[in-house]
Chain A
Amino acid sequence: MCLAIPIRVDALLPDDMARVTLDGVSKCVSIALLGDVRVGDYLLIHVGYALARLDPDEAEETLALMREAAMLAPLAMAP
Protein backbone atom coordinates (compact mmCIF):
# COMPACT_ATOMS: atom_id res chain seq x y z
CA MET A 1 0.00 0.00 0.00
CA CYS A 2 1.13 3.48 -0.75
CA LEU A 3 0.00 5.02 2.50
CA ALA A 4 2.75 6.03 4.89
CA ILE A 5 3.50 8.99 7.12
CA PRO A 6 6.67 10.91 7.88
CA ILE A 7 8.11 9.93 11.30
CA ARG A 8 10.84 11.44 13.44
CA VAL A 9 14.21 9.75 13.97
CA ASP A 10 15.09 9.61 17.64
CA ALA A 11 18.14 7.35 17.49
CA LEU A 12 20.66 6.12 14.95
CA LEU A 13 21.49 2.42 15.21
CA PRO A 14 24.31 0.28 13.76
CA ASP A 15 24.07 -1.43 10.34
CA ASP A 16 22.27 1.47 8.63
CA MET A 17 19.27 1.28 10.96
CA ALA A 18 17.42 3.97 12.89
CA ARG A 19 14.66 4.11 15.49
CA VAL A 20 11.71 6.29 14.58
CA THR A 21 8.99 7.32 17.01
CA LEU A 22 5.53 8.81 16.60
CA ASP A 23 3.57 9.78 19.72
CA GLY A 24 5.28 7.12 21.82
CA VAL A 25 5.09 4.36 19.20
CA SER A 26 8.50 3.22 17.95
CA LYS A 27 9.83 1.16 15.08
CA CYS A 28 13.28 0.21 13.86
CA VAL A 29 13.80 0.88 10.17
CA SER A 30 16.54 0.71 7.55
CA ILE A 31 18.14 3.93 6.34
CA ALA A 32 20.29 2.14 3.76
CA LEU A 33 18.50 3.93 0.92
CA LEU A 34 19.21 7.41 2.33
CA GLY A 35 22.50 9.09 2.97
CA ASP A 36 23.29 11.31 5.93
CA VAL A 37 20.33 10.78 8.29
CA ARG A 38 20.36 12.67 11.60
CA VAL A 39 18.39 12.47 14.83
CA GLY A 40 15.46 14.86 14.45
CA ASP A 41 14.98 14.16 10.73
CA TYR A 42 11.48 13.14 9.57
CA LEU A 43 11.58 10.13 7.25
CA LEU A 44 9.07 8.51 4.92
CA ILE A 45 9.01 4.77 5.66
CA HIS A 46 7.70 1.94 3.49
CA VAL A 47 7.93 -1.75 4.40
CA GLY A 48 10.65 -0.96 6.94
CA TYR A 49 12.77 1.21 4.63
CA ALA A 50 13.21 4.99 4.69
CA LEU A 51 12.68 6.28 1.15
CA ALA A 52 12.85 10.04 1.56
CA ARG A 53 13.60 12.74 4.08
CA LEU A 54 11.12 15.54 4.75
CA ASP A 55 12.51 19.04 4.33
CA PRO A 56 11.03 21.16 7.15
CA ASP A 57 11.60 24.44 5.28
CA GLU A 58 9.73 23.09 2.27
CA ALA A 59 6.99 21.89 4.63
CA GLU A 60 6.63 25.40 6.06
CA GLU A 61 6.50 26.82 2.57
CA THR A 62 3.82 24.29 1.58
CA LEU A 63 1.64 25.36 4.49
CA ALA A 64 2.28 29.03 3.66
CA LEU A 65 1.16 28.41 0.06
CA MET A 66 -1.96 26.66 1.30
CA ARG A 67 -2.80 29.47 3.69
CA GLU A 68 -2.23 32.00 0.95
CA ALA A 69 -4.55 30.05 -1.34
CA ALA A 70 -7.15 29.90 1.42
CA MET A 71 -7.07 33.64 2.07
CA LEU A 72 -7.96 34.41 -1.50
CA ALA A 73 -11.46 33.14 -0.82
CA PRO A 74 -14.14 35.76 -0.18
CA LEU A 75 -14.41 36.78 3.49
CA ALA A 76 -18.03 35.80 3.82
CA MET A 77 -18.08 32.15 2.93
CA ALA A 78 -20.43 29.35 3.80
CA PRO A 79 -18.96 26.79 6.24
Chain B
Amino acid sequence: MSATRLRTRRLDVRNGLIDLSHGAGGRASAQLIEEIFRAEFDNPLLNRGDDQAAFDVPAGRMVISTDGYVVSPLFFPGGDIGSLAVHGTINDVAMAGARRLHLAAGYIIEEGFPLADLQLIARSMARAARDAGVSIVTGDTKVVERGKGDGVFITTTGLGLVPPGLSLSADRARPGDQAILSGCIGDHGVAVMSKRANLGFETDILSDSAALHGLVAAMVCVAGPSLRVMRDPTRGGLAAALNEIAQQSGTGCLLEEGQIPVRPEVAAACELLGLDPLYVASEGRLVAIVAPEAADVLVAAMRAHPLGRDAARIGEVVADDQCFVQMTTSFGGGRIVDWLAGEQLPRIC
Protein backbone atom coordinates (compact mmCIF):
# COMPACT_ATOMS: atom_id res chain seq x y z
CA MET B 1 0.00 0.00 0.00
CA SER B 2 1.60 3.25 -1.07
CA ALA B 3 1.47 6.42 0.91
CA THR B 4 -0.83 8.04 -1.70
CA ARG B 5 -3.95 9.48 -0.25
CA LEU B 6 -6.98 7.39 -1.10
CA ARG B 7 -9.70 9.32 -2.91
CA THR B 8 -12.53 8.60 -0.58
CA ARG B 9 -14.48 10.54 1.99
CA ARG B 10 -12.92 10.47 5.44
CA LEU B 11 -14.39 8.12 7.98
CA ASP B 12 -17.37 9.49 9.87
CA VAL B 13 -15.88 8.74 13.25
CA ARG B 14 -18.63 10.46 15.18
CA ASN B 15 -21.51 8.40 13.84
CA GLY B 16 -19.90 5.59 11.86
CA LEU B 17 -19.94 1.92 12.76
CA ILE B 18 -17.58 -0.92 11.90
CA ASP B 19 -18.84 -3.12 9.10
CA LEU B 20 -17.50 -6.31 7.56
CA SER B 21 -15.69 -4.43 4.81
CA HIS B 22 -13.37 -2.90 7.40
CA GLY B 23 -11.88 -6.32 7.96
CA ALA B 24 -11.87 -7.52 4.37
CA GLY B 25 -8.42 -6.22 3.42
CA GLY B 26 -9.71 -3.85 0.80
CA ARG B 27 -10.13 -0.11 0.58
CA ALA B 28 -12.26 0.15 3.69
CA SER B 29 -9.69 -1.77 5.74
CA ALA B 30 -6.92 0.45 4.51
CA GLN B 31 -8.88 3.56 5.38
CA LEU B 32 -9.63 2.29 8.84
CA ILE B 33 -5.97 1.53 9.50
CA GLU B 34 -4.88 4.87 8.08
CA GLU B 35 -7.40 7.11 9.78
CA ILE B 36 -7.78 5.39 13.13
CA PHE B 37 -4.66 3.41 13.93
CA ARG B 38 -1.85 5.12 12.03
CA ALA B 39 -3.28 8.51 12.87
CA GLU B 40 -3.01 7.74 16.58
CA PHE B 41 0.04 5.49 16.74
CA ASP B 42 2.09 7.49 14.21
CA ASN B 43 5.64 6.14 14.22
CA PRO B 44 8.20 5.60 11.45
CA LEU B 45 8.01 1.79 11.45
CA LEU B 46 4.23 1.70 11.34
CA ASN B 47 4.00 4.52 8.84
CA ARG B 48 5.92 2.49 6.25
CA GLY B 49 2.70 0.60 5.80
CA ASP B 50 4.28 -2.85 5.52
CA ASP B 51 2.70 -6.04 6.79
CA GLN B 52 5.57 -6.36 9.22
CA ALA B 53 8.05 -4.09 10.99
CA ALA B 54 11.73 -4.69 10.36
CA PHE B 55 14.37 -3.36 12.73
CA ASP B 56 17.86 -4.07 13.98
CA VAL B 57 18.10 -6.06 17.17
CA PRO B 58 20.65 -5.03 19.78
CA ALA B 59 22.91 -7.80 21.02
CA GLY B 60 21.74 -9.63 24.06
CA ARG B 61 18.91 -11.74 25.39
CA MET B 62 15.43 -10.99 24.05
CA VAL B 63 12.07 -11.63 25.62
CA ILE B 64 8.73 -11.83 23.88
CA SER B 65 5.33 -11.87 25.50
CA THR B 66 1.77 -11.90 24.23
CA ASP B 67 -1.61 -11.41 25.91
CA GLY B 68 -5.24 -11.25 24.87
CA TYR B 69 -7.56 -8.64 26.41
CA VAL B 70 -11.24 -9.37 26.78
CA VAL B 71 -12.12 -7.04 29.64
CA SER B 72 -15.77 -6.13 30.10
CA PRO B 73 -16.82 -3.35 30.20
CA LEU B 74 -14.43 -1.85 27.65
CA PHE B 75 -14.26 1.48 29.48
CA PHE B 76 -13.84 1.42 33.25
CA PRO B 77 -12.75 3.90 35.92
CA GLY B 78 -9.03 4.53 35.48
CA GLY B 79 -8.63 2.95 32.04
CA ASP B 80 -10.00 1.02 29.10
CA ILE B 81 -9.22 -2.10 27.10
CA GLY B 82 -6.65 -0.14 25.10
CA SER B 83 -4.51 1.21 27.93
CA LEU B 84 -4.84 -2.15 29.66
CA ALA B 85 -3.56 -3.95 26.55
CA VAL B 86 -0.51 -1.71 26.39
CA HIS B 87 0.28 -1.74 30.13
CA GLY B 88 -0.30 -5.45 30.48
CA THR B 89 2.13 -6.51 27.80
CA ILE B 90 4.75 -3.91 28.77
CA ASN B 91 4.50 -5.38 32.27
CA ASP B 92 4.91 -8.97 31.13
CA VAL B 93 8.11 -7.93 29.37
CA ALA B 94 9.16 -5.87 32.38
CA MET B 95 8.72 -8.86 34.69
CA ALA B 96 11.77 -10.36 32.98
CA GLY B 97 13.64 -7.18 33.91
CA ALA B 98 13.69 -6.33 30.22
CA ARG B 99 13.84 -2.95 28.55
CA ARG B 100 10.83 -2.73 26.28
CA LEU B 101 11.49 -2.36 22.57
CA HIS B 102 8.35 -2.63 20.49
CA LEU B 103 4.68 -3.59 20.65
CA ALA B 104 2.38 -5.21 18.12
CA ALA B 105 -1.43 -5.08 18.37
CA GLY B 106 -4.14 -7.27 16.85
CA TYR B 107 -7.83 -6.36 16.92
CA ILE B 108 -10.91 -8.49 16.50
CA ILE B 109 -13.82 -6.08 16.18
CA GLU B 110 -17.51 -6.86 16.09
CA GLU B 111 -19.60 -5.58 13.21
CA GLY B 112 -21.57 -2.55 14.46
CA PHE B 113 -18.91 -1.36 16.90
CA PRO B 114 -18.87 2.46 17.01
CA LEU B 115 -15.90 4.09 15.29
CA ALA B 116 -15.90 6.74 18.01
CA ASP B 117 -15.18 4.09 20.63
CA LEU B 118 -12.48 2.53 18.46
CA GLN B 119 -10.82 5.91 18.13
CA LEU B 120 -10.95 6.44 21.88
CA ILE B 121 -9.35 3.06 22.44
CA ALA B 122 -6.65 3.71 19.85
CA ARG B 123 -5.97 7.14 21.35
CA SER B 124 -5.69 5.60 24.80
CA MET B 125 -3.24 2.98 23.52
CA ALA B 126 -1.18 5.64 21.80
CA ARG B 127 -0.98 7.70 24.98
CA ALA B 128 -0.07 4.70 27.12
CA ALA B 129 2.62 3.64 24.65
CA ARG B 130 4.05 7.14 24.32
CA ASP B 131 4.20 7.59 28.10
CA ALA B 132 6.09 4.31 28.31
CA GLY B 133 8.48 5.26 25.53
CA VAL B 134 7.42 2.45 23.21
CA SER B 135 5.74 2.29 19.82
CA ILE B 136 3.08 0.04 18.33
CA VAL B 137 4.95 -0.87 15.17
CA THR B 138 2.67 -3.36 13.50
CA GLY B 139 -0.82 -4.71 13.82
CA ASP B 140 -3.77 -6.49 12.34
CA THR B 141 -7.50 -5.89 12.16
CA LYS B 142 -10.27 -8.40 11.66
CA VAL B 143 -14.03 -7.91 11.80
CA VAL B 144 -16.50 -10.61 12.85
CA GLU B 145 -20.25 -10.63 12.28
CA ARG B 146 -22.60 -8.99 14.76
CA GLY B 147 -23.09 -11.25 17.74
CA LYS B 148 -19.85 -13.15 17.21
CA GLY B 149 -17.63 -10.87 19.22
CA ASP B 150 -18.25 -8.63 22.20
CA GLY B 151 -17.32 -5.17 20.91
CA VAL B 152 -13.58 -5.62 20.53
CA PHE B 153 -10.89 -8.04 21.67
CA ILE B 154 -7.24 -6.94 21.57
CA THR B 155 -4.06 -8.99 21.55
CA THR B 156 -0.74 -7.27 22.13
CA THR B 157 2.72 -8.72 21.79
CA GLY B 158 5.79 -7.09 23.27
CA LEU B 159 9.49 -7.46 22.64
CA GLY B 160 12.14 -6.54 25.13
CA LEU B 161 15.86 -6.78 25.81
CA VAL B 162 17.17 -8.23 29.06
CA PRO B 163 20.09 -6.36 30.62
CA PRO B 164 23.24 -8.50 30.99
CA GLY B 165 23.70 -10.29 34.30
CA LEU B 166 19.98 -10.54 35.00
CA SER B 167 18.34 -13.95 35.12
CA LEU B 168 14.79 -13.94 36.43
CA SER B 169 12.74 -17.09 36.43
CA ALA B 170 9.88 -18.49 38.49
CA ASP B 171 11.90 -21.55 39.45
CA ARG B 172 14.60 -19.55 41.23
CA ALA B 173 12.92 -18.86 44.58
CA ARG B 174 14.82 -20.40 47.51
CA PRO B 175 13.97 -20.77 51.21
CA GLY B 176 14.91 -17.56 52.99
CA ASP B 177 14.18 -15.29 50.02
CA GLN B 178 11.85 -12.37 50.74
CA ALA B 179 8.58 -11.55 48.98
CA ILE B 180 8.11 -7.82 48.26
CA LEU B 181 4.83 -6.36 46.96
CA SER B 182 4.91 -2.98 45.19
CA GLY B 183 1.59 -1.60 46.48
CA CYS B 184 -2.10 -2.03 47.27
CA ILE B 185 -3.80 -4.98 45.61
CA GLY B 186 -7.18 -5.39 44.01
CA ASP B 187 -7.89 -1.86 42.72
CA HIS B 188 -8.26 -2.92 39.08
CA GLY B 189 -10.62 -5.82 39.74
CA VAL B 190 -12.88 -3.75 41.96
CA ALA B 191 -12.92 -0.81 39.51
CA VAL B 192 -14.02 -3.12 36.68
CA MET B 193 -16.60 -4.87 38.86
CA SER B 194 -18.09 -1.56 39.93
CA LYS B 195 -19.19 -1.06 36.33
CA ARG B 196 -20.91 -4.41 36.06
CA ALA B 197 -24.55 -3.54 36.33
CA ASN B 198 -25.61 -6.72 38.05
CA LEU B 199 -23.32 -6.17 41.04
CA GLY B 200 -24.98 -2.91 41.99
CA PHE B 201 -22.41 -0.94 43.93
CA GLU B 202 -20.80 2.46 43.45
CA THR B 203 -17.32 3.56 44.29
CA ASP B 204 -14.61 6.03 43.34
CA ILE B 205 -11.95 3.36 43.05
CA LEU B 206 -9.83 3.64 39.91
CA SER B 207 -8.05 0.80 38.15
CA ASP B 208 -4.37 0.67 39.02
CA SER B 209 -3.45 -0.14 35.41
CA ALA B 210 0.05 1.23 34.81
CA ALA B 211 3.31 0.44 33.00
CA LEU B 212 5.85 -0.91 35.46
CA HIS B 213 9.02 -0.73 33.40
CA GLY B 214 10.26 2.38 35.23
CA LEU B 215 9.77 0.79 38.65
CA VAL B 216 11.45 -2.38 37.43
CA ALA B 217 14.43 -0.42 36.10
CA ALA B 218 14.86 1.21 39.52
CA MET B 219 14.67 -2.21 41.18
CA VAL B 220 17.18 -3.80 38.81
CA CYS B 221 19.51 -0.88 39.39
CA VAL B 222 19.78 -1.48 43.15
CA ALA B 223 19.26 -5.24 43.41
CA GLY B 224 19.52 -6.81 39.93
CA PRO B 225 21.73 -9.80 40.79
CA SER B 226 19.70 -10.54 43.95
CA LEU B 227 16.32 -10.64 42.18
CA ARG B 228 14.95 -14.16 41.60
CA VAL B 229 11.62 -13.55 39.94
CA MET B 230 8.97 -10.87 39.46
CA ARG B 231 5.31 -11.38 38.65
CA ASP B 232 2.39 -9.04 38.15
CA PRO B 233 -0.70 -10.29 40.00
CA THR B 234 -3.37 -10.02 37.31
CA ARG B 235 -5.94 -12.78 36.84
CA GLY B 236 -6.25 -14.75 40.04
CA GLY B 237 -4.59 -11.96 41.99
CA LEU B 238 -1.65 -12.18 44.35
CA ALA B 239 -2.67 -15.72 45.29
CA ALA B 240 -2.19 -16.99 41.73
CA ALA B 241 1.16 -15.25 41.30
CA LEU B 242 2.57 -16.67 44.53
CA ASN B 243 1.23 -20.17 43.94
CA GLU B 244 2.78 -20.19 40.46
CA ILE B 245 6.16 -19.23 41.87
CA ALA B 246 5.87 -21.76 44.70
CA GLN B 247 4.96 -24.55 42.33
CA GLN B 248 7.68 -23.78 39.80
CA SER B 249 10.36 -23.34 42.44
CA GLY B 250 9.28 -26.36 44.46
CA THR B 251 9.11 -24.23 47.60
CA GLY B 252 6.43 -22.89 49.91
CA CYS B 253 5.74 -19.37 51.05
CA LEU B 254 4.74 -17.85 54.37
CA LEU B 255 2.89 -14.53 54.23
CA GLU B 256 1.86 -12.06 56.91
CA GLU B 257 -1.64 -10.79 56.25
CA GLY B 258 -1.07 -7.60 58.23
CA GLN B 259 1.74 -6.60 55.85
CA ILE B 260 -0.27 -6.90 52.64
CA PRO B 261 -1.50 -3.40 51.65
CA VAL B 262 -5.17 -3.14 50.63
CA ARG B 263 -7.04 0.17 50.29
CA PRO B 264 -9.96 0.53 52.70
CA GLU B 265 -12.37 1.06 49.77
CA VAL B 266 -11.13 -2.12 48.08
CA ALA B 267 -11.45 -4.05 51.36
CA ALA B 268 -14.97 -2.69 51.77
CA ALA B 269 -16.01 -3.60 48.23
CA CYS B 270 -14.60 -7.08 48.70
CA GLU B 271 -16.54 -7.47 51.96
CA LEU B 272 -19.74 -6.42 50.20
CA LEU B 273 -19.17 -8.83 47.32
CA GLY B 274 -17.91 -11.69 49.47
CA LEU B 275 -14.51 -11.68 47.73
CA ASP B 276 -11.03 -12.16 49.08
CA PRO B 277 -8.69 -9.30 47.96
CA LEU B 278 -5.90 -11.85 47.54
CA TYR B 279 -7.69 -13.16 44.45
CA VAL B 280 -8.66 -9.82 42.88
CA ALA B 281 -6.66 -8.61 39.88
CA SER B 282 -4.24 -5.70 39.90
CA GLU B 283 -2.79 -4.33 36.66
CA GLY B 284 -0.07 -1.99 37.90
CA ARG B 285 1.52 -3.95 40.73
CA LEU B 286 4.25 -6.53 41.02
CA VAL B 287 5.52 -9.04 43.51
CA ALA B 288 9.27 -9.69 43.60
CA ILE B 289 11.21 -12.51 45.22
CA VAL B 290 14.64 -11.30 46.29
CA ALA B 291 17.59 -12.66 48.22
CA PRO B 292 17.28 -11.67 51.89
CA GLU B 293 20.34 -9.43 52.06
CA ALA B 294 18.92 -7.12 49.37
CA ALA B 295 15.35 -6.88 50.66
CA ASP B 296 15.63 -3.63 52.63
CA VAL B 297 17.47 -1.71 49.93
CA LEU B 298 14.96 -2.97 47.36
CA VAL B 299 11.93 -1.82 49.36
CA ALA B 300 13.55 1.61 49.85
CA ALA B 301 14.22 1.98 46.11
CA MET B 302 10.64 0.96 45.29
CA ARG B 303 9.14 3.42 47.77
CA ALA B 304 11.12 6.21 46.11
CA HIS B 305 9.28 5.52 42.84
CA PRO B 306 5.70 6.82 42.24
CA LEU B 307 4.37 3.33 41.49
CA GLY B 308 5.99 1.77 44.56
CA ARG B 309 5.06 4.20 47.35
CA ASP B 310 3.31 1.47 49.37
CA ALA B 311 5.89 -1.24 48.72
CA ALA B 312 6.13 -3.73 51.56
CA ARG B 313 7.79 -6.95 52.55
CA ILE B 314 4.87 -9.38 52.75
CA GLY B 315 6.52 -12.68 53.55
CA GLU B 316 9.22 -15.15 52.83
CA VAL B 317 9.93 -18.29 50.86
CA VAL B 318 10.10 -21.47 52.96
CA ALA B 319 10.90 -25.09 52.33
CA ASP B 320 7.73 -27.07 51.63
CA ASP B 321 7.52 -30.15 49.44
CA GLN B 322 3.79 -29.57 49.04
CA CYS B 323 4.39 -25.99 47.84
CA PHE B 324 1.69 -24.41 49.98
CA VAL B 325 1.41 -20.67 50.22
CA GLN B 326 0.58 -20.21 53.90
CA MET B 327 -0.44 -17.05 55.69
CA THR B 328 -0.46 -15.90 59.28
CA THR B 329 -3.74 -13.99 59.50
CA SER B 330 -3.99 -10.60 61.21
CA PHE B 331 -6.07 -12.51 63.65
CA GLY B 332 -3.10 -14.68 64.58
CA GLY B 333 -4.22 -18.01 63.13
CA GLY B 334 -2.93 -19.85 60.09
CA ARG B 335 -4.45 -20.56 56.71
CA ILE B 336 -3.34 -21.38 53.22
CA VAL B 337 -3.77 -19.05 50.27
CA ASP B 338 -4.67 -21.62 47.66
CA TRP B 339 -5.04 -21.44 43.90
CA LEU B 340 -8.35 -19.92 42.94
CA ALA B 341 -10.90 -22.67 42.35
CA GLY B 342 -13.19 -21.88 39.45
CA GLU B 343 -13.87 -18.39 38.17
CA GLN B 344 -14.15 -15.55 40.61
CA LEU B 345 -15.40 -13.11 37.99
CA PRO B 346 -14.93 -13.40 34.24
CA ARG B 347 -13.56 -10.82 31.81
CA ILE B 348 -11.44 -8.89 34.29
CA CYS B 349 -8.53 -8.29 31.94
- Chain A residues within CB distance 8 Å of chain B: 1, 3, 5, 7, 22-28, 48
Most chain-B Cβ atoms within 10 A of its Cβ — which of A5, A7, A24, A27?
A24
* B contact residues, total (Cβ < 8 Å): 14
What would 9 more interface pairs be, CB under 8 Å, given A7-B272, A22-B272?
A: A1-B274, A22-B268, A22-B271, A24-B204, A24-B205, A25-B201, A25-B268, A26-B203, A27-B201
- The answer to whether A26 touches B265, judged by C-beta atoms less than 8 angstroms apart, is no
- The answer to whether A24 touches B203, judged by C-beta atoms less than 8 angstroms apart, is yes
Q: Nearest Cβ in chain A — how far from B214, in angstroms?
A: 29
Total cross-chain contacts (CB, 8 A): 35
Provide the residues of chain B in CB contact with A1, threshold 8 Å: 274
Q: Nearest Cβ in chain A — how far from B265, in angstroms?
A: 4
- The answer to whether A23 touches B200, judged by C-beta atoms less than 8 angstroms apart, is no
Cβ proximity bits B256-280 to A, threshold 8 Å, 1 near / 0 not: 0000000011011101101000000
The 10 closest A-B pairs by CB, nearest first: A23-B268, A22-B268, A23-B264, A24-B265, A25-B268, A25-B203, A26-B202, A25-B269, A27-B201, A23-B265
- The answer to whether A5 touches B200, judged by C-beta atoms less than 8 angstroms apart, is no
- The answer to whether B271 touches A5, judged by C-beta atoms less than 8 angstroms apart, is yes
- The answer to whether B200 touches A27, judged by C-beta atoms less than 8 angstroms apart, is yes
Q: Nearest Cβ in chain B — how far from A78, in angstroms?
A: 12
- The answer to whether B203 touches A48, judged by C-beta atoms less than 8 angstroms apart, is no
Provide the residues of chain B in CB contact with A3, threshold 8 Å: 274
Kindly identify, within residues 197 to 255 of chain B, every residue whose CB is under 8 Å from any CB belonging to chain A. Answer: 200-205
Residue ID in chain B nearest A7 by CB atoms: B272
| Docked CA distance A11–B269 (Å) | 19
A to B CB contacts below 8 Å, 8 in the list: A1-B274, A5-B272, A24-B204, A25-B202, A25-B205, A26-B201, A27-B200, A28-B200
Q: Nearest Cβ in chain A — how far from B277, in angstroms?
A: 13
| Docked CA distance A49–B297 (Å) | 50
Assuming A1-B274, A3-B274, is B268 touching A24 (CB within 8 A)? yes
- The answer to whether B272 touches A27, judged by C-beta atoms less than 8 angstroms apart, is yes
Provide the residues of chain A in CB contact with B204, threshold 8 Å: 24
| Docked CA distance A22–B59 (Å) | 54
Provide the residues of chain A in CB contact with B205, threshold 8 Å: 24-25
| Docked CA distance A48–B272 (Å) | 11
Residue ID in chain B nearest A45 by CB atoms: B272
- The answer to whether A24 touches B264, judged by C-beta atoms less than 8 angstroms apart, is yes
- The answer to whether A25 touches B274, judged by C-beta atoms less than 8 angstroms apart, is no
- The answer to whether B272 touches A25, judged by C-beta atoms less than 8 angstroms apart, is yes
Provide the residues of chain B in CB contact with A24, threshold 8 Å: 203-205, 264-265, 268
- The answer to whether B202 touches A27, judged by C-beta atoms less than 8 angstroms apart, is yes
- The answer to whether B267 touches A23, judged by C-beta atoms less than 8 angstroms apart, is yes
| Docked CA distance A3–B203 (Å) | 21
Q: Nearest Cβ in chain B — how far from A51, in angstroms?
A: 15
Residue ID in chain A nearest B201 by CB atoms: A27
Residue ID in chain B nearest A26 by CB atoms: B202
